[in-house]
Amino acid sequence: MATCPQGHPSGTDDYCDVCGAQMSDPRPTAPRQAPPQQAESCPVCATPRVGQFCEVCGHSFEGGALPVHVPVTGARWEAVTAADRAYYEQVIAQGGPDAGAMAFPPYCPERSFPLVGEQVRIGRSRRGRDQQPEIDLAGPPTDPGVSGLHAVLLAQPDGSWMLVDPGSANGTLVNGRPVTVNVPVRVGAGDRIHLGAWTVITIREGTP
């Protein structure tokens, strides 16, 4: 006959039939295994992390690391987008798989985007996605060579900006030089960023 933790003799071995206390279980319990670690996900859209920036919405996983001063009134810098015919002809001359389908836009007005905040994403918004880049090149006219998240401008503590290409499909040029993926490049007034099939972005100093 089993004895419960209170000392009562019990005819059952699960609960004491005198006081109802649970009987001790002589069987050893297997150690609990820790659940497998899951890959870090974007806190905005839940996409698995593969680099510093989310491939879907452009969230920076390390964006809070830098103390950044953001102007309260006005923007010190602005990015002006336009179409560059000479760059377009270079892209077509390279003979990519979609070169024949890319037409230079007959009309593409300049657009100005203020550079404010810790990061300014450059890319192309798409239907069905709530997130869109601060510099949205979806058009019209739409540059077909621009990725959803093509590049990111990161504010620096001294007020300057760095450009990062997180892995765009067609690459990025700064003043005619290719940008290495995930290697920041400093940009300032007068610098020209080429991307897509014909887009040029010129950094200008605005009104502080």
Report yes or no on 175 lying in a domain.
Answer: yes
**134-158 mean pLDDT:** 93
Our count of domains for the chain comes to 1
**144-166 mean pLDDT:** 95
Which residue has better confidence, 120 or 18? Answer: 120
Could you tell me the pLDDT band of residue 64, with boundaries at 50, 70 and 90? Answer: very low
**Owning domain of residue 201:** 66-205
Amino acid code (one letter) for 142: T
14 alpha-carbon distance from chain centroid: 56
For residue 204, give both structure tokens.
């200008």
Report yes or no on 108 lying in a domain.
Answer: yes
Report yes or no on 14 lying in a domain.
Answer: no
55 alpha-carbon distance from chain centroid: 5
Contact 33, 19 (CB under 8 A): no
Q: pLDDT for 116-130, tens place per residue?
A: 999 999 999 987 666
Report yes or no on 26 lying in a domain.
Answer: no
- The pLDDT score that the predictor gives to residue 179 is 97
Report yes or no on 4 lying in a domain.
Answer: no
- The pLDDT score that the predictor gives to residue 48 is 73
Which residue has better confidence, 63 or 19? Answer: 19
> How much of the chain exceeds pLDDT 70, in percent?
68
Could you tell me the pLDDT band of residue 45, with boundaries at 50, 70 and 90? Answer: low
**140-161 mean pLDDT:** 93
pTM: 0.65
Report yes or no on 9 lying in a domain.
Answer: no
Burial (CB < 10 A; 0-12, 13-18, 19+), residue 23, is: middle
pLDDT above 90 for 88: yes
Report yes or no on 42 lying in a domain.
Answer: no
Contact 58, 51 (CB under 8 A): no
Residues ≥6 apart with Cβ < 8 Å to 54: 42, 44, 45, 47, 61, 149
- The pLDDT score that the predictor gives to residue 26 is 47
**38-42 mean pLDDT:** 71
The 3-class SS string of 56-101 reads CCCCECCHHHCCCCCCCCCCCEEEEEEECHHHHHHHHHCCCCCHHH
Could you tell me the pLDDT band of residue 57, with boundaries at 50, 70 and 90? Answer: low
Q: Are strands 161-164 and 172-174 parallel, antiparallel or unpaired?
A: unpaired
Contact 118, 155 (CB under 8 A): yes
Q: Residue 160 to residues 29, 98, 116, 119: CA-CA distances in angstroms?
A: 60, 36, 11, 12
Which residue has better confidence, 38 or 90? Answer: 90
- The pLDDT score that the predictor gives to residue 69 is 35
Radius of gyration of the chain (CA): 29
Residues ≥6 apart with Cβ < 8 Å to 50: none
Report yes or no on 33 lying in a domain.
Answer: no
Which residue has better confidence, 21 or 121? Answer: 121
166: domain CATH number? 2.60.200.20
